[in-house]
Amino acid sequence: MKLISLQGNSQMLDAGAMFGNAPKALWSRWVETDELNRMSIACRCLLATDFNGKNILFETGIGAFFEPKLKQRFGVNEPNHVLLDSLKQHGMTHQDIDFVVLSHLHFDHAGGLLSAYEDGKEPELLFPNAKYLVSEKHWQRAVKPHPRDRASFIPKLNALLEQSGRLVFVNDSSCDLLPGVTFEFTDGHTPGMMHSTIADVVFCADLIPGKAWIHVPISMGYDRFPELLIDEKTNFLNEHSQLNHRFFFTHDPEISVAKTVLNEGRFSTTDEQKILLEER
C-alpha cells in the first residue's frame, strides 16, 4: 500500500471567519493575509493505493465546478480540476478509484466529485467505478440542511450521488467494504462528520483543519456547535496522540501530516511533513 497526499484546488477565504471569535491579534501570528483579509487554504486529499487490492480516495476537495462568479467569491483561482491533475502525476485517473470516502459533503470537501465548469453544461459526477462512503447522519443533514449551512451543500451533487446507486452509508466504526479502515464521528462542525483512520494516519477533516487549530480553544466561524467541537477536539487529540497517530490536515497550505505532543496543557505539532508519499 502507498499513502499519498494529493493537492486539490486551493482557496482564499476570510481569515476572521476561519478563526471564529479569536481576535486578529492572535491569529495573525499564524497566517498571512492579502489585502482583502483572506488567507490561503489548501483542499488536500489522501490517496491509499493497492489497499487490499483497491484504491481509496479520502476527500475530493473543492474541485472546479463553480461558475466564474462563485469561483471569484470563494477564491478558487485555478480553472482546471487540480485533483485530477494530481492523480495523473501518480499514473492514475478518477476511473481507477474504487472508493471515495467523504468526511462530509460541504462543497470544499466534496465539490471535486464533479467535473470542471463548462459554460452551458451541467456538471457530471466523476469517479464512475467508485462507491461513495458518507455517514448516514450527515447525509440527512446534507439533504435537509439548516438555513445556517444550506449554502455549504451542493444540491445537484446530492441528487447525482443518490442516482448513482453507489452511495454507501457508514454508521459504525468499521465497514465490511474497507477492512482495516476505522471510522469515528463528530458533530461540532456539522452533524455526522466522519473521520477515517488508515494505518497510523487519522483524517481530521474540519475538526482540525490545520496546524493553527491544534490549539483547543480555536474554532471556525463555520462550525455549527463550537463548544461541542472543542470538547470533541480535546478527546480526539488525546486519543490519537496516545495511539501515536499522525494527523492529516485537509486545509493547511504547508503541512499534510504531523504528530502532536502535549506540553504544559497545550498541544503542538511535531514531525511535520509537507507531502506524504510512502510505501508500507
pLDDT digits (tens, 9 = 90+) for 194-242: 999 999 999 999 999 999 999 999 999 999 999 999 999 999 999 999 9
* 2-279: CATH topology: Metallo-beta-lactamase; Chain A (3.60.15)
What pTM, to 2 d.p., does this model score? 0.97
Distance from C-alpha of 47 to C-alpha of 4, rounded to nearest angstrom: 5
Residue 77 pLDDT greater than 90, yes or no: no
pLDDT digits (tens, 9 = 90+) for 97-155: 999 999 999 999 999 999 999 999 999 999 999 999 999 999 999 999 999 999 999 99
Q: Tell me the residue type at 161.
A: L
Three cell numbers, residue 170: 457508514
